Amino acid sequence: MGRSRYVFTAPEQPHFLTLTVLHWLPIFTRPDAVDIIFNSLRYLMGEGFKVYAYVILENHLHLVAQSDQLDKDIARLKSFTARQLIAYLQTKKAKTILDQLAFYKKAHKRDRTYQLWQEGVHPELIQSEGMMRQKIEYIHHNPVKRGYVDARRALALFQCKRLCRNGGTVGGV
Ligand code: NI
């Protein structure tokens, strides 16, 4: 993987983004963990962050988003949700997952015990209306619904295949 995964060439333009839990740990099988993401997105949307579409899967999420400073907003989203999710896992005494988040933490992150998200968000600049439509359709119409999140939350969990560029190590996801 190159440095490109960190780079937003046009941070005010819409991007397709992928946030992945460290070591593909499936923490979003828990509805409360999904709610943390949902509430954080809603908070950012109140500050002008636009979300065109998103999908939360068991160990990663995709969104098409736009803001004046997408790179900074995504950094806020990652850091805020990481703190909340770790606090939630501690409350639930999810020891196995916490142990793995500590174990797989990158060596240079000395300021924390756990790392929740993988580095980077694989930003893909949406370069045309056609690409926007394709990414949104991918998110909305992927055929395999998982169904462990209440439909009232307007969240859909879909199995994802072709766009999961970094998912080669996890079977079927
Ligand atoms: Ni995916």
Per-residue pLDDT of the chain (173 residues; tens, 9 = 90+): 444 455 677 888 899 999 999 999 999 989 999 999 999 999 999 999 999 888 888 899 999 999 999 999 999 999 999 999 999 999 999 999 999 999 999 877 788 899 999 999 999 999 888 898 888 887 776 534 444 333 333 333 333 333 343 333 333 33
CA distance 122 to 32: 26
* Å from CA of 140 to ligand 1 middle: 12
- 43 within some domain: yes
The closest alpha carbon to 16, from 136, 165, 162, 130, belongs to 136
- 129 within some domain: yes
* Å from CA of 17 to ligand 1 middle: 10
* Å from CA of 106 to ligand 1 middle: 22
* Å from CA of 82 to ligand 1 middle: 19
Kind and range of the H or E element at 64? strand 60-66
* Å from CA of 10 to ligand 1 middle: 23
Tokens of 82: 């990481």
Number of domains, the chain: 1
Give me the CATH number covering residue 127: 3.30.70.1290
* Å from CA of 156 to ligand 1 middle: 13
Predicted confidence at residue 2, as pLDDT, reads 43
- Which ranges of 4-128 does DSSP label H, i.e. alpha helix? 31-45, 70-91, 95-103
6-11 contacts at long range (C-beta below 8 A, 24 or more positions apart): 6/119, 6/120, 7/123, 8/70, 8/71, 8/123, 8/125, 9/125, 10/125, 11/69, 11/70, 11/71, 11/72
Predicted confidence at residue 36, as pLDDT, reads 95
* Å from CA of 162 to ligand 1 middle: 8
Q: Look up the pTM and report it.
A: 0.77
- 163 within some domain: no
Tokens of 135: 């990414």
Per the structure, the complete domain to which residue 100 belongs is given by: 3-153
CA distance 25 to 117: 10
Predicted confidence at residue 98, as pLDDT, reads 96
Predicted confidence at residue 142, as pLDDT, reads 54
Looking at residue 25, its amino acid is L
Q: Give the start-end residues of each E strand in 93-143.
A: 124-125
* Å from CA of 121 to ligand 1 middle: 12
